[in-house]
Amino acid sequence: MKSRFYTLYLASSDARNVRKIRVPYYVFQLVAVLAVVGALTLAAAVTSYSRMLLKVANYNELRSDENRLQRQYVRLQVQAQDARLQLSSIQSLATEVAMTYGVLRWRNTPFRSQGDPAPNPANFETSVKQFHFLMQNASLVSMVDASGLHLLPGPVPANSRLVPSLWPVLGPITSPFGEREDPFSGEPAFHPGVDIGAPEGTPVLATADGVVAFAGWEDGYGRLVVIDDGFGFSTCYAHLSAFSVQPGMHIDRGQVIGYVGDSGRSTGPHLHYEVRINNTPVNPWRYLRSAMPVSAVRQTQGN
């Protein structure tokens, strides 16, 4: 069978030169097939790329939702922890009221002997009213000072070494106990202690006799010293630049246990001070009663 050809004529603009090119028919067929294949390949590539862009957009949206949910989860955890601390503090304050009015007593402690008279039943109704007042006005009651509610029933000497009674450092209260605005997130948060402003390196004093339960680094608190003062009391000293005690050491009231710093989650040099009863934070303001004379400060060698 005779091959079929297409003849192409190429002429210059002045028509003086004319070139004739013979192209076999199958070449045109091959070019057409390649063009169709190329068009289909391009269409498939564009479709695949569009689907990939859609998947990437969906993935980024899912990641954004996941990050948002994680932040919400962390905030809810913090709020739940704050709520637990506030509830524990309210329960502690309610116990203080009950003990103050004689409904409850510390037993088998130096503060009350077993031969003390039984509580007066006439005070029960008053104690119930005080409890309901605490439930409705927790934020106000938590700010009373030493002239208000007292932790321990009965006459406790003002210089008792078993109860925190000193200022750990001298300075202004820069952040009180209770509800406040978190300085980092701006969200409402429960502050379980007080912040006392003082220059970096200022000696920090133990506010009561006790045993060092912890001395090291704690997230948020930075360099932290926790002293077990006995009878359910413990005191915490946070954001230290250094500490001069070790776990297990017996500490005397007024002894230097560390130095003011800004370690951990801190906006500047200060001391974060907590008083806890059975690991429940209470307002330390009621226990900031006196200051130790500089001449009586006892230095400690250690870390």
Tokens 């008279």 map to which residue? 117
Give the pLDDT score at 222. 93
Query: Could you tell me if residue 15 is left (phi over 0), alpha (psi between -120 and 50 degrees) or otherwise beta?
Result: left
Question: Where along the chain do its domains lie?
Answer: 160-303
Structure tokens at 52: 């990939």
Q: Rounded distance, CA 120 to CA 123, Å?
A: 6
Give the pLDDT score at 27. 76
Confidence band of 271 (pLDDT split at 50, 70, 90): very high
What pairing do the DSSP bridges indicate for beta strands 270-277 and 250-251? unpaired
End-to-end CA distance of the chain: 105
Of 9 and 233, the one with more pLDDT: 233
Inform me whether the pLDDT recorded for 274 exceeds 90.
yes
Structure tokens at 174: 């820069």
CA 261 from chain centre, in angstroms, equals 18
Lowest-confidence range among 24-33, 85-94, 143-152, 185-194?
143-152
**Number of CB atoms found within 10 A of residue 221's CB:** 23
Q: How far is CA 262 from CA 135, 156, 237, 238, 256, in A?
A: 35, 35, 12, 9, 18
Lowest-confidence range among 111-120, 186-195, 199-208, 278-287?
111-120
Amino acid at 67: N
Q: What 3-state class would DSSP assign to 221?
A: coil
Confidence band of 202 (pLDDT split at 50, 70, 90): very high
| 245 Cβ contact partners less than 8 Å away, ≥ 6 residues apart | 212, 215, 225, 251, 257, 258, 300, 302, 303
The CATH classification number of 160-303 equals 2.70.70.10
* DSSP calls for 56-105: HHHHHHHHHHHHHHHHHHHHHHHHHHHHHHHHHHHHHHHHHHHHHTTSS-
